[in-house]
Copies of this chain bind each other. A is one copy, B any other.
Amino acid sequence: MKQNIYDNPIFFEQYTALRDSGITANDFVEQPALKSLISSLEGKMVLDLGCGAGSFAKYCVENGASKVIAVDISKNMIEKARKENQHESINYLCSPIEEVELHNQSFDVIVSSLAIHYIEDYPKLIDRVISLLTENGEFVFSTEHPMVTARKEEISNWVKDSEGNKLHWALDHYQEEGKREGYWYIDGVVKYHRTISTLVNTLIEKGLVVERIIEPISIPGGVELRPKLINEERRPSFIVIKAKKN
């Protein structure tokens, strides 16, 4: 059974309240980096793996994509997407992203925003991505940074002094890949830690060419609206990778 925290009602309510605020790390850090790595959307067939409520799918059609297939494991998210980001050129599918069946279709751009740290079998997902990419197609994805997923402790990895000031980030267990359980609105949220070398080498071994890596900080203005984003300069929350099929 694939994990599907987004269909937990408590998680879903709190998560969507956060995302709908429009001033999160996604808005100012992760999404700008992800978007900056896509060469062009004009006339492109796009596959969005882990589409959530569909805002990125909508962004793609608004920027010229000819069609977007947007996939998410969560029924809640797909329902929200169909309500809020419906478009004749977007087809929303409810499925685990590593098992999505898309017969005889191929895509110029495959994107995945912050979903891959939930996926246990990364090489299998990359195989699927490669089989769905056109020649010269691009795969652009973001995931939680390995410096963030590494440590096994469930408590925050910011070490603070007695007044609550952040002294430094605690790193540990970096080379021990695999499951990490933690609290994020609900108990027992499972993520998978992989090293940077595993993230990158798996792409290369399977035949993709790595074109760029971003460890993003906030875009200008973001820190003013959400001051804690200054911490992205102390350690990155996300890593964004672009690879191409040649």
Q: A residues near B, CB below 8 A? A: 147, 150-151, 159, 167-176, 195-197, 200-201, 204, 209-215, 217, 232-236
Given the contacts A171-B168, A235-B172, A204 and B211 also touching, CB distance less than 8 Å: yes
Which 6 pairs between the two chains have the least Cβ-Cβ distance? A168-B170, A169-B171, A175-B233, A168-B172, A197-B213, A171-B171
A233–B168 touching, CB < 8 Å: no
Q: How far is the CA of A159 from the CA of B160 in the complex (A)?
A: 13
A231 to chain B, nearest CB (A): 10
Q: How far is the CA of A233 from the CA of B233 in the complex (A)?
A: 25
Q: A215 touches which one: B175, B176, B234, B235 (CB < 8 A)?
A: B175
Q: Chain B residues with Cβ under 8 A from A169's Cβ?
A: 170-172
Q: How far is the CA of A175 from the CA of B217 in the complex (A)?
A: 8
Q: A212 touches which one: B151, B204, B233 (CB < 8 A)?
A: B204
Assembly of this chain: how many copies? 2
A34 to chain B, nearest CB (A): 14
Q: Chain B residues with Cβ under 8 A from A233's Cβ?
A: 173-176
Q: Chain B residues with Cβ under 8 A from A197's Cβ?
A: 212-215
B170–A170 touching, CB < 8 Å: yes
Q: Chain B residues with Cβ under 8 A from A210's Cβ?
A: 200, 204, 210
Q: Chain B residues with Cβ under 8 A from A195's Cβ?
A: 215
Q: How far is the CA of A147 from the CA of B171 in the complex (A)?
A: 9
A171–B212 touching, CB < 8 Å: no
Can you list 6 A-B contacts (CB < 8 A)? A159-B170, A167-B170, A172-B234, A195-B215, A196-B213, A204-B210
**Which of A159, A197, A200 counts the most chain B CB atoms within 10 A?**
A197
Q: How far is the CA of A111 from the CA of B24 in the complex (A)?
A: 43
Which residue in chain B gives the minimum CB-CB distance to A151? B168
A171–B209 touching, CB < 8 Å: no
Q: Chain B residues with Cβ under 8 A from A213's Cβ?
A: 196-197, 200-201
Q: How far is the CA of A150 from the CA of B212 in the complex (A)?
A: 21
Q: Chain B residues with Cβ under 8 A from A172's Cβ?
A: 168-169, 234-235
Q: How far is the CA of A209 from the CA of B246 in the complex (A)?
A: 12
Q: How far is the CA of A236 from the CA of B175 in the complex (A)?
A: 8
Q: How far is the CA of A213 from the CA of B168 in the complex (A)?
A: 26
